[in-house]
Amino acid sequence: MRLDLTILIPHLGFLAEGALLTLEACALALIGSVILGMLVAIARTSSSKWISRLAFLYVDLFRNIPFIVQLFFFYYGLPEIGIYIDAFTTGVVALSIAGGAYASDAIRAGILAIDNGILEAAEVSGLSKRVTFTRIVLPIALRTSVRPLGSVLINMILTSSILSTITLNELTGQAKIVASDTFRPFEVYVVLLVVYAALTYLVSLGITLLHRRLNRDLQEQVS
Amino acid sequence: MLKVENVKKAFGPVTVLDGVNLTVNPGEVVSILGSSGSGKSTLIRCINGLEKLNAGKITVDDFDVSKPKELAEARKRSGTVFQLFNLYPHMTALQNITLAPIEVLKRPKAEAEAEGRALLTQVGLGDRADAYPAQLSGGQRQRVGICRALAMKPRYLLLDEVTSALDPEMTSEVLDILAKLAKDGTTMVFVTHEIEFARQISNRIVFLEKGVLLVDLPTEKFFAADGGLAQPRVAQFLSKMRKD
Ligand SMILES: Nc1ncnc2c1ncn2[C@@H]1O[C@H](COP(=O)(O)OP(=O)(O)OP(=O)(O)O)[C@@H](O)[C@H]1O
Ligand SMILES: [Mg+2]
């Protein structure tokens, strides 16, 4: 069998729709998991035992259950007890919850790495806890956690292919349809390989640029 | 007036401050000397509220640092300069200086920035306003640290070994600024190992030994044979420091 990519031309728009859905779901889930990760990271450093325990439980739990099981639970399990959520929302929520567990690790590490003297300087100058957190703790933590957060995002893009199992026709879902319509799985999946690789490559490039921007002071020092 | 009354501070079983009394009047420069581990930093950290007292009382212009409601007011009146600068690494020199005036004193941004630039110019860093801490030398960083404290217009400047992380050349550029501040009447509580400099700028020198304030004398008197030097511990300390 020869590789003949031209047979896919009529299906490109269809595949692009899927890629767009993948990007949409991942973008929303990224926001969701970073916010969740932030809250959980704060909760994990909380002085209240119950709050920090709950946060640790969440992280341990969701990191130790296969994503597909979590997803099936939300999509096929919850309706049994009367909770119906559409496939797209389920996908975004599931990715956010799973990603949040990893994101909280990245953010927590960034927070813990902050030099205590910097926080003391903020404290004695009278800055409120809120301002200290938003203007000092978070931006400094992000400087170091942007890379691990990037890995979380890349993993999320890869994991999002599993959303096709709950009828969500993102990139992989659309590809499956095209493969069965055209009987050319080889070509279809070659394209899929390339598209996922390109997608994650672009994301990691973006992360590198963002990392460089957040740490621009250190860059210039070296040069 | 900054008043430290019978302050006790212990870390677990270790008593670090054992009934310290100290009064600093507006316009005074008071240097705190003492060997390593004598409790100098702890005293400064009690004054700016970073450590809780076990007993006694510290007031800054009558605001009690042990009372959460008054601590904020007390902190507005004192500014701290740190040994290791503790600048915010993700902010430029100017942003480091203007953050608290804008957020705490609610100063308009433009005004805060103009004042910040003026401060930087005063310390010879007028052209480095947009540099990040990592792009500055140690001495420059500490000068930014001093500006950051001054930007809050504190009544009292607390300085804890602000030059001990610097090499001699950078030390003198920072000390020059402190000397100027002293001359302009800035009230300072100055922890240092720079004995000669302390002698030049201080109105009073206090000597801390194992958490006890052994000596509190006007500068002249402190270095006089019948004054501070009459205390064996002070004489020993000074001769050791001179040798080093
Ligand atoms: N957070 C802490 N926990 C336990 N012990 C502490 C703590 N901070 C300070 N100490 C102890 O308190 C004593 C006084 O420390 P402090 O830092 O005030 O001394 P210092 O006079 O500033 O010394 P140096 O000249 O070395 O800076 C030391 O024995 C130190 O080990
Ligand atoms: Mg010290």
Point out the ligand 1 atom lying closest to the alpha carbon of residue B43.
18
What is the Cα gyration radius of chain B? Answer: 18
Q: State whether A121 and B89 contact (CB < 8 Å).
A: no
Minimum CA–CA partner of A222 in chain B = B135
Q: Which residue has the tokens 């020059």?
A: B176
Tell me how far CA of residue A46 lies from CA of A52, A54, A145, B89, in angstroms.
6, 11, 19, 25
What pairing do the DSSP bridges indicate for beta strands B187-191 and B156-160?
parallel
Q: pLDDT at position B227, please?
A: 87
Number of domains in chain A: 1
Task: Say which residues have a Cβ less than 8 Å from residue A147's Cβ, sequence separation at least 6.
Answer: A207, A211
What pairing do the DSSP bridges indicate for beta strands B2-11 and B14-24?
antiparallel
* Lowest-pLDDT range of A95-104, B7-16, B128-137, B164-173: B164-173
CA of B174 to the centre of ligand 1 (A): 24
Residue A181 sits at the chain B interface (C-beta within 8 Å): no
Q: State whether B82 and A126 contact (CB < 8 Å).
A: no
A119 within 8 A of A133, measured Cβ to Cβ: no
C-alpha span between A166 and A75 (Å, rounded): 7
Instruction: Identify the helix (H) or strand (E) that includes residue B21.
Output: strand B14-24
Q: Write the pLDDT tens digit of every residue in A139-189.
A: 999 999 999 999 999 999 999 999 999 989 999 999 999 999 999 889 899
Q: Which domain holds residue B20?
A: 2-86+157-243
Whether the pLDDT of residue B244 is over 80: the answer is: no
Residue minimizing CA distance to atom 12 of ligand 1: B16
Assessment of whether the complete model's pTM goes beyond 0.90: no
Whether the pLDDT of residue B55 is over 60: the answer is: yes
What residues have a C-beta under 5 A from ligand 2, the ion?
B 41
Comparing CA positions, the residue from A28, A21, A35, A26 lying closest to residue A158 is A26
User: What percentage of chain A reaches a pLDDT higher than 70?
Assistant: 97
Q: Domain containing A89 — which CATH number?
A: 1.10.3720.10
C-alpha span between A67 and A63 (Å, rounded): 9
Binding-site residues, ligand 1, Cβ < 6 A: B 11, 14, 16, 34, 36-42
Q: Is residue B138 part of a domain?
A: no
Min distance B100 CA to chain A CA atoms (Å):
6
Phi, psi (deg, nearest 5) at residue A132: -60, -40
Q: Which residues in chain A are closer than 8 Å to B100, comparing Cβ atoms? A: 125-127
Q: pLDDT at position A223, please?
A: 39
Whether the pLDDT of residue A74 is over 60: the answer is: yes
Min distance A155 CA to chain B CA atoms (Å):
28
| CA within 13 Å, CB half, A133 | 10
Which residues, numbered 101 to 130 in chain B, qualify as contacts with chain A under a Cβ-Cβ cut-off of 8 Å?
A: 103-104
Point out the ligand 1 atom lying closest to the alpha carbon of residue B40.
21
Mean pLDDT of the region B89-118: 97
Q: State whether A125 and B100 contact (CB < 8 Å).
A: yes
Whether the pLDDT of residue B151 is over 90: the answer is: yes
Q: State whether A126 and B86 contact (CB < 8 Å).
A: no
Q: Write the pLDDT tens digit of every residue in B77-96.
A: 999 999 999 999 999 999 99
Nearest residue, CB atoms, B75 vs list A126, A139, A221: A126
Whether the pLDDT of residue B50 is over 50: the answer is: yes
Phi, psi (deg, nearest 5) at residue A112: -65, -25
Q: State whether A125 and B88 contact (CB < 8 Å).
A: no
Nearest residue, CB atoms, B90 vs list A121, A127, A143: A143
Phi-psi region at A150: left, alpha or beta (left = phi > 0; alpha = psi -120 to 50): alpha
Q: Domain containing B69 — which CATH number?
A: 3.40.50.300
Q: pLDDT at position B228, please?
A: 86
Tell me how far CA of residue A217 lies from CA of A87, A150, B38, B89, in angstroms.
44, 21, 38, 8
Average pLDDT along chain A: 91
Q: Which residue has the tokens 């310390």?
A: B123
Mean pLDDT of the region B17-41: 96
Min distance A68 CA to chain B CA atoms (Å):
40
Q: Is residue B108 part of a domain?
A: no
Whether the pLDDT of residue A65 is over 60: the answer is: yes
Number of domains in chain B: 1
- Band of the pLDDT at B15, cuts 50, 70, 90? very high
